[in-house]
Amino acid sequence: MNEKSLWKFLEKHLNAIYSGDFKTYEETSHKDLTLYEWFVAPHRIEGLSFHKFMMENNWASTHDGFNIHLTNKKAQVYNDTAILTYTLIISYKNEGKIEHKVVNETRVVIKFGNTLKVVHVHKSPGK
């Protein structure tokens, strides 16, 4: 797996999430995706339906414009497995002021044939 295309794939995946584009999200995710999102619940979430509702309801207040900044990125690649880790700074306007969410993320990407799919996500507080 080529690292540059991995980050490009990730960019597409993240943009889908924050712009509410469920179709692209679904294409870039494995249907049995597992997640830990501490700000929702201290439990593993499985499958895509939970986030479908989230994305359709603008959960991150980003549908009117946002900026994604990834910092301290690292790709660990083992054959068809890539472990992407980074700090995500998502900026958006809230009541006329810019606010930032800062989150540490792991996204594990697997290459099935020619297709990349996110199979696992783990988030924790980035500040």
Q: Going by DSSP bridges, is the β-strand pair 44-46/66-78 parallel, antiparallel, or unpaired?
A: unpaired
- Contact predicate 116/109, CB 8 Å: yes
Per CB under 8 A, 81 contacts its own copies:
yes
- Give the strands of the sheet with 81-94, arranged side by side: 44-46, 29-37, 115-125, 97-112, 81-94, 66-78
Distance of closest approach, residue 27 Cβ to its own copies, in angstroms: 19
Which stretch in 5-13, 21-29, 57-65 sits in contact with its own copies by CB under 8 A? 57-65
Cβ 13 to its own copies shortest distance, Å: 17
Verify binding: residue 6, its own copies, rule CB under 8 A: no
Residues contacting residue 5 through CB under 8 Å, at least 6 positions apart:
none
**By CB under 8 A, is residue 93 in contact with its own copies?**
yes
Q: Which of residues 101-120 bind its own copies (CB under 8 A)?
A: 102, 104, 106, 108, 110, 119-120
79, 95, 115, 118: which one binds its own copies (CB under 8 A):
79
3-state secondary structure of 98: strand
